[in-house]
Amino acid sequence: MTRMLFVNLPVSNLDASMNFYRAIGFENNPRFTDDTAACMVWSEAIHVMLLTHAKWQTFTDRPIPPASSSEVALALVQPTREAVDVMIEAAAAHGGSVDINPAQDLGFMYSRSVTDPDGHVWEPFWMDPAAMPPTEPAAP
């Protein structure tokens, strides 16, 4: 059985959030979408459930954090460095705040940060494990 991950996020404007996620490469699964929630698919194993605040509050009494907070940072692997930049540009054009943290360029890994319209942090990154510097052996 394939293990799947469903990330649930409260959103203030479902349509705007769906447009944002489509723009950065997610596809909508209409079977799990209505006027209170939308299932946005990254891969067979990774789905993001966008939930209106009213729908979110049917799952928990905990408060929705303000958009200025960081409850989690979700990293998405991209096939190339250029794909990282393309995702960031699409996010900026669809309501995201880009480069909320400094870009990281370690040679073998490149990443940037963006928030969706509700402040949820995403970090597209590219990595070439073969180019990673060798690690020092552990001391005896």
In a domain, 138, yes or no: no
In a domain, 93, yes or no: yes
Structure confidence at residue 133 (pLDDT): 82
- State the residue range of the domain holding 34: 5-60+70-130
Q: Where are the alpha helices (DSSP H) in 7-72?
A: 14-23, 53-56
Structure confidence at residue 139 (pLDDT): 66
Instruction: Output the pTM of the full model.
Output: 0.89
Q: What's the CATH code of the domain at 110?
A: 3.10.180.10
CB contact at 8 A, 24 and 43 = no
Overall number of domains in the chain: 1
Query: Residue-wise pLDDT tens for the chain (140 aa)?
Result: 889 999 999 999 999 999 999 999 999 999 999 999 999 999 999 999 999 999 999 999 999 988 888 889 999 999 999 999 999 999 999 999 999 999 999 999 999 999 999 999 999 999 998 888 887 766 66
In a domain, 135, yes or no: no
